[in-house]
Amino acid sequence: MKSGPKSKAMFQRAKGVMPCGTSSNFRYWGDDETLVVKRAKGAYLWDQDGKKYIDYRLGFGPVILGHACTSVIEKVKEALEIGNVFAMTNEYEISVGEKIKKLTGVDLVRYANSGTEATMHAIRIARAYTGRNKVLKFEGHYHGFHDYTLWNTYPPIPGAGYRRSPVLVAHGSGIPSIVGQLIISIPFNDEELLEKKVKENWGDIACIIVEPLMGNTASIMPRKGFLGYIRKLCDQYGIVMLMDEIKTGFRIAKGGAQEYFNVKADLVAYGKALGNGFPLAAIGGKKEIMGEIGPLMIPHGGTYAGNVVATSAADATLDEIMTGALDKVKQHGGKLMKGLREILQKRGIPAVVQGPSSMFGIIFSEKDEVIEYRDWSSSDHDTYEKVILKLFEKGVMPDKDSREPWFISASHSDSDADYVIGAFEEAVREVI
């Protein structure tokens, strides 16, 4: 879909100040297609030309309550009266930490400003704690923009080799190849391969970092028992299990993926929904490990870590999470998943609609079971993108990249769901 004249003009200005006119490579959709936002409220977003969209991107997931949520905004306004950054402990940090502990069961937390920072710090903590350097990660899992894990994130297939002996591929230029020596990457959901790699390398492996479900590859779910198997191997070989809950935390359940899948990690990274989109992230974990952070022990810090703006926003957000916001999210997502699945089935289009209702993915694939990045890679994402571009025209905006789940907020209404199901049916008819 081509952007309107005002978006286009604004985008030209943007290109004058930012490479590709965006602050992130993931946001560039093409010179004629990249929209510029005017504003957003609740479940809706307006572009510069005044076109309204029901938003299912939600800023890549954080906006769990809805855009410009009144209770969050009010709390932030109130908090701003006391100042916004002290680089000293403040009351909101404590309150948010207490709520995170209550909801997730972690013993201690430290704050950061983005998911990238949180996973970067968590990896360092795991390395320090174990005295080992290597990180085992899974293909198609994304953990942020630092060099440590930007390997086999979305590797070209067959460039990444045969699945049982993958070739390590950096996500792009500028990532030192020497860092790759510290990475072991394998496909998700393969217990046998995981066991083999762990047995071969355990003395070097500090942590296994895992997205509990593939929040960056169409919400592909873990096979039954797979996360528990990671837990078991980590216990057996003294490896830190590091769950990356940046997308799943405070979204798929109050206690995140640890609750949803009933598996306890050693360290957990949170972000996104924690602050309803205000830039707060956290590393949580067991006291035995987190308690080793400190001067002359394990380094961690940051000027803005725990600042008043972000922590006050999280304080209000977690109150809403604790008092039932996720019920609305689940209900809306469940209705959409059912409706979209029925349309695809009725028209005989081979597809899977998968994941938790708060962040589900759709893959156009003939396969009965979609369990790893390579299954997504061989799926028909071009057709998916065409369907989504038709949805854009009809004022519905999930991400057009089928790796991005449909994110649901507590502000999406039942009538939104009815409209979206109707629009999806039309879009599918028009494209396929």
Ligand X SMILES: Cc1ncc(COP(=O)(O)O)c(C=O)c1O
Q: Which helix (H) or strand (E) holds 207?
A: strand 205-210
What is the token pair recorded at 118?
Answer: 């949180």
What is the token pair recorded at 35?
Answer: 């929209």
User: Is 246 near ligand X (CB under 6 A)?
Assistant: yes
Best CA proximity match to 103, nearest among 319, 289, 283, 292: 319
Task: Out of 104, 153, 185, 216, name the contact with ligand X by CB under 6 A.
Answer: 216
Backbone angles phi, psi at 350, to 5 degrees: -70, 115
Measured from the CB atom, the residue of 243 and 427 that comes closer to ligand X is 243
Best CA proximity match to 246, nearest among 227, 273, 220: 273
Question: Is 327 part of the annotated catalytic residue set?
Answer: no
From the candidates 142, 148, 260, 384, which is the catalytic residue?
142
Nearest approach in angstroms of CB 257 to ligand X is: 11
Span of 79-87, 108-116, 370-378, 411-419 interacting with ligand X by CB under 6 A: 108-116
Nearest approach in angstroms of CB 373 to ligand X is: 14
Question: Is 380 part of the annotated catalytic residue set?
Answer: no
Question: Is 244 part of the annotated catalytic residue set?
Answer: yes
Span of 101-109, 115-123, 193-201, 418-426 interacting with ligand X by CB under 6 A: 115-123
Span of 164-172, 200-208, 244-252, 332-340 interacting with ligand X by CB under 6 A: 244-252
Strand partners, 170: 151
Name the residue number minimizing CB distance to ligand X: 115
- Listed in order, strand segments (DSSP E) in 120-175 are 134-138
What is the token pair recorded at 135?
Answer: 């990180």
Site residues for ligand X, window 364-383 (CB under 6 A)?
none
**Is there a contact between 3 and 33 (Cβ–Cβ < 8 Å)?**
yes
User: Is 361 near ligand X (CB under 6 A)?
Assistant: no
Site residues for ligand X, window 27-86 (CB under 6 A)?
60
Provide the Cα torsion 339, 58, 408, 105; round to 10°.
150
Give the x-and-dash track for 269-298 against ligand X (CB under 6 A): --x---------------------------
Q: How many CB atoms lie within 10 A of CB 190?
A: 18
Nearest approach in angstroms of CB 338 to ligand X is: 25
**Is there a contact between 37 and 381 (Cβ–Cβ < 8 Å)?**
no
Rounded to 10°, the helix 325-346/308-322 angle is 70
> Rounded to an integer, what distance in angstroms lies between the CA atom of residue 275 and that of residue 401?
25
User: Is 116 near ligand X (CB under 6 A)?
Assistant: yes
Nearest approach in angstroms of CB 260 to ligand X is: 15
Nearest approach in angstroms of CB 25 to ligand X is: 12
> Rounded to an integer, what distance in angstroms lies between the CA atom of residue 15 and that of residue 10?
9
Give the x-and-dash track for 156-195 against ligand X (CB under 6 A): ----------------------------------------
Binding residues (CB under 6 A) for ligand X: these are: 60, 114-116, 119, 142-144, 211, 215-216, 244, 246-247, 271
